[in-house]
Every structure is written in structure tokens, then in C-alpha cells.
Chain A
Amino acid sequence: MATSEQTDKRTGRPDEIEAVPVRHPGRWIAAVIVLVVGASIIKSIVTAKGFQWGVVGHYLFDSRILHGVLATIWLTFLAMAVGILLGVVLAIMRQSPNPIVSGASWLYIWFFRGTPLLVQLLFWFNIASLFPVINLGVPFGPALVSPHANSLVTTFAAVLLGLGLNEGAYMAEIVRAGFLSVPHGQTEAAQSLGMSRLQIMRLVVLPQAMRVIVPPTGNETISMLKNTSLASTITYVELTYSAQLIYSANFKTIPLLVVISIWYLVLTSVLYVGQYFIERRYGRGFTRAERASMRARWLGMGRGGGGGIA
């Protein structure tokens, strides 16, 4: 903050200000601390014998593990599809002026968010204990078809129902939040143009609500990717179950858990990229100017960019 007090003898005007950039030694100290601590943690992880990195490498591309990876991807995709569809329907039902319809939706959401996912999966898997035969037909009337519960609800169907119906309840709240974020003026303007409720929902509200729906939905998808591991408790062959079968036979529990952790991380990272592109598409016309580029932030380590701690 040195301002030159001297005046130029010739012209009598003050010299140009000697602007010294703001120093940020604290940023450098913090960076060094984080790097040193991080390096020591990474070294302990890499050299810990229990990980048996050789075994990890051996099983990373094992055919059973890869088969499990594909099953997990497929299950995540299908369960999210069921969940999103169901969530949109439930959210629209919640908006309904009909109290029975809106109440039914509320009850569904309350029940499926209120019980643990693991318990839901166990119930679907063992549904034949409750309903040995499922009668499909007129409620309280004659049944058209009566399949055995275990033939109708296969293990795959049980997993899909468990994950999808649970996800539907959570998505319903996310979609409802999206609807709430669209200014009511939009609906009023559309109504004044004579659009029906369905047209308003489809053409005006839903497209604008997408901007607010997409980030939490990305979060839910990433969460679903990990929730599929619960299917291992009901013997569905996905990634975690495949690893469990291998390590129950060869006792190499930790290396195989590392293998599946690596695969889950890789798949999650792919989803990050997907979410970025979807968010960009739905954020058109809304996002402010891009944040300061990375280069400017690195320069700020040395100088400039005041404020913040140290």
C-alpha cells in the first residue's frame, strides 16, 4: 500500500502509484500443508500390505467382475427410469385438485420414503410368504390371471421393484420442488391463453422445472448406482454379489472390496460427465457468465484477488 509521497520535481504532479499486489502467503502455506499430508496418506495407502494390490490387479478385469459391472449399469439405468417416470406421475398427482388422488400420492411417498430400502428389497424378494398367488383382475371381483408370486416376481423383478418404487418416492419430491420453482405467473399466463392443465404441465411448467430437477436427479442416479449393491442381499448377480462369491471362496476379502470400490468410482465419474452435459443443456438462457477461468485462480495464489483468509 505504498503510495509515493514524492512529487515529480519537474511537473509538480505526484508520481505514479507504486501498486504492490496483495500477497497471499497463507494460501501457499495451506497448499503445502495439504500436499504434504495428502502425500503421506497416499503413501500409507499404497504401501499397506493388507490391500494386496497384486490381487486387486488380478481381479480388476475378471470376467465375473465385468459381468457384475454390466449388470450394475443396466440395473441403475432401469431403476432410475422407473423411478423418474413414477416420480413425475406422483408429483403431478400431488398437484391435483382432487384430494383423493393427491392424498394417495402423499401416502405412497410417505410409505416408501419411510421404510428402509433394504427391508423393502427383502419383502419383494420373499413376497410369496405373504401372497403365494397374485390374483390380477377386478378388485374385489373375479381374477383374470393368478400366477404364482415367485413366477411373476422373479429375483430381477424384485430388485427392480424394490429400487424403482423407492426411487419413485424420492423423485416425486424432487420433481415437486422443480414445479414449485417455476413462477406461478407462468401458469397464470398459460391459463389466460386457454391452455388445458395437461398442456400447461407439458409445454410450460415441466420444461422450465427441468433446470431445477436435473442436479438432484444426478445426485439420485449416483446414489442409485451404490444402492444397487443392496441387491446382493437377495442374491441378484451384480458387482458386489460377484465379489462376495469370489472372496467367500478364496478369502481375499479386502482386495476384492478394493476392486469393486474402484469400479464404483469409475462408474460414478462417468455419471459426473453425463450430468455436466445435461445441466448445460437445460441451463441454456439462465446461467451467468462462466466462473473465473482456472488460470486466473492459479494466478490468484501469488497475487491479486483480495479477501478470504490470509
Chain B
Amino acid sequence: MFTWRKSLLAALLLPCVVAIAACGSSNSSSSSASSASSTAASTAASTSTSAASSSSGGANAAVAKLVPAALKSKGTLTVAADATYAPNEFIGSDGHTVVGMDADLAKALAAVMGLKANVVNATFDTIIPGLAAGKYDMGASSFSDNKEREKTVDFVDYFIAGESFITKASGGTEISSIADICGKTVAVEKGTTEEADAGTQSKKCTSAGKPAVKILSFSDQNAANLALSSGRADLGFLDSPIAEYQVKQSNGQFKVVGDAYATGPYGLAVPKGSYAPALLAALKVLMQNGTYSSILSHWGLTSGAIPAAQVKINGATS
């Protein structure tokens, strides 16, 4: 039965429903602000494994001039890293802070630009789409700079690394190079250049009449390593510095086999057409004042130090 009291109730509910619909239709990209405040505290109280607090100290005026105003007003760079890739990026002993060479470098670069860095953990294959969508300001996650990725993001090259194979130390699969993986099962992480290179090699195998490479793609490197140790995969295929570090950490369970493949630069990923020049200038400052080499030697990665001539934006050759 119609009564005024009941229709008043309906009329009060109407604005609430309309407000919810209006929120859904606006494109808000404020997610980075909320994540920044919650993790800024934990990264500030960060770990003793960080080597970023060395000679660079404060901002460099010349570099800070190149930083876009929008970033300066935000004050914090949201840096995404897939923290399953020690020693470049991994979760520290406190259980939630992202630490490693990439995290230290990102913080040092932000400091030179007069900004703070908030390093967050993200699944590897969501980082580049996240940069394109404005969710992150930088991707510092051992990205190999290649032409395919340069279509979506800009890279500032900062490190040299190749790809290596690992296998079980006893009873593992012996190979000498990538050409030997035909018919073998290889565990890779989704979205990596290793996944793509294994796929390319598989096509080469089948056109040469050999069996294809069986590629198992996992969402993180830990799952890939587990598949290797349980024997699901014959080989793991991952970046060389990571391979060496993880072999060392495995206490004799794994070993590196075969030659490194496709040595090339790592790039720090930034949204296309944004602040790559500022980042490049900041990197050059770090290389001049010795912070870059001290970060690398802290993590045992000096062999991957990039020659000055290769420090550029979008320097991929393939």
C-alpha cells in the first residue's frame, strides 16, 4: 500500500545509489597515492641491507630542473618490482619491504631528482601495463630493454646482463647453449625475455625437425624454481646475475649450465614520453659520484656495470 513514509525511504536511498554509480563511471587513478602513504613508512624504516645512503645525499639542482612539475608536486615515485628475483629485487627479512640492487638504485635516483621512492611488489607481467595505465611511475625489475617493450614504455639503460640456464646439481640436464634445449622442458617466468627467447628457439627446433621446447610459464620465479627442484622442468631460464645468486643461495642444489645468451642492457621503465631525460641525468650523476658502483658491489653485481657509452634512453639493439 502506498504511504508517504515508505516512499520517503526510497527517495533517501536514491542519491546513495546514484552516487555509487557516479563513482564507478569516473576514471580515478589515485590508487598510487593510497599505496604510497602505507608503504612509505616501511621503506623509510628500511633495512640495513640498503646501500643507498652513501655519498649522493641530497638532490642535484640541474637534474631536479628536468623533472616534470606533476612529479615534483607528487613528491613520491611509485616504483614497481617483482620481488622474486634476488639479488635484484626480493622481499627483505622483515617480510614486506622490497630490497635489492634495483630497489637501492631506484631510491638513490629519486633522491638525486629531489623525490622519494616507494618500491612496491608487483607481478612481473603486470608492471609494463601498469606503467602504461599510470598506476606506477617507474618499473625497476630487471627489465631487458628490447624494441618490443619500447613500443609501450621508455627505458633508461642502467645494467648489462644476459640470460642463463640452471639445472639440478646432481642428475640435471647438461647443455652447452640455447641450441641444445630442443625437446627439453624449460621453466620461465611469464612476460620475461626468457619466455620469448625460449619460444623463438622452439620454433627453430621444430623447423629443423627436432622436438619443440616445452615451456612452462609461471607467475613468479619462486614457482619456476620449485618446478625445477621437483623435476617438472629440466632447466630454469632466467637472468644471469639472478642465476648466479640463486645457485649460491641454493646450497648446492642447483648449478648454472651452458653459455649466457643474449647479453644486453637492463632498462628502468618509465611511461612513454614522460621523465626519461631526468632519469638519465640522475643516473649519470650517480655514476659520477660513485654511488652506482657502490650499490653494485654491495650486491656482488659489479660484473654487470654498464659502460658509460651505453647509458642512454631506449638503447635496445633488438
Contacts and interface: CB of A to CB of B under 8 A. Distances in A.
Q: Do A and B come from one complex?
A: yes
Interface of A: 22-26, 29-30, 33, 37, 40-41, 43-44, 48, 50, 122, 125-129, 132, 148-150, 155, 233, 235, 241, 244-245, 247-249, 251-254, 306, 309-310
Q: Which 5 A-B pairs have the closest CB atoms?
A: A44-B25, A248-B191, A126-B230, A248-B125, A129-B230
Nearest to B133: A50
A29 B217 contact: no
A29 B232 contact: no
Contact of A253 (B1, B21, B129): B129
B178 interface: no
Contacts of B22: 40
B217 A235 contact: yes
B132 A127 contact: no
B152 A251 contact: yes
B229 A129 contact: yes
Interface stretch (B91-99, B218-226, B289-297): B218-226
A33 B191 contact: no
Contacts, number: 98
Contacts of A29: 7, 10
Chain B binding site: helix, strand, loop or mixed by DSSP? helix
B14 A251 contact: no
B2 A310 contact: yes
Nearest to A158: B232
For chain B, give the interface size range. Answer: 35 or more
B172 to A, nearest CB: 14
Contact of A247 (B6, B25, B125): B125
A41 B25 CA distance: 7
A185 to B, nearest CB: 45
A148 B230 CA distance: 11
Contacts of B152: 251
B301 interface: no
Interface string B90-114: 0000000000000000000000000
B196 A37 contact: no
Contacts of A122: 223, 226
Given A41-B25, A126-B232, A245-B217, A22 B227 contact: no
A50 B230 CA distance: 40
B216 interface: yes
Contacts of A126: 226-227, 229-230, 232
Given A23-B2, A33-B17, A41 B24 contact: yes
Given A248-B125, A248-B191, A252-B129, 7 more contacts: A37-B18, A41-B25, A44-B25, A122-B226, A128-B231, A235-B216, A235-B218
Contacts of B73: none
A252 B128 CA distance: 10
Given A128-B230, A245-B217, A43 B10 contact: no
B191 A249 contact: yes
B318 interface: no
Contacts of B21: 37, 40-41, 44
A251 B128 contact: yes
A149 B196 CA distance: 29
Interface string B231-265: 11000000000000000000000000000000000
A6 to B, nearest CB: 26
A248 B217 contact: yes
Contacts of B24: 41, 44
Contact of B7 (A48, A247, A310): A310
30 contacts: A22-B1, A25-B7, A33-B17, A37-B18, A37-B21, A40-B21, A44-B21, A48-B25, A48-B27, A50-B133, A125-B227, A126-B230, A127-B230, A128-B230, A128-B231, A129-B226, A149-B231, A155-B232, A233-B219, A241-B217, A244-B190, A244-B219, A247-B125, A247-B129, A248-B125, A248-B191, A248-B195, A254-B129, A310-B2, A310-B3
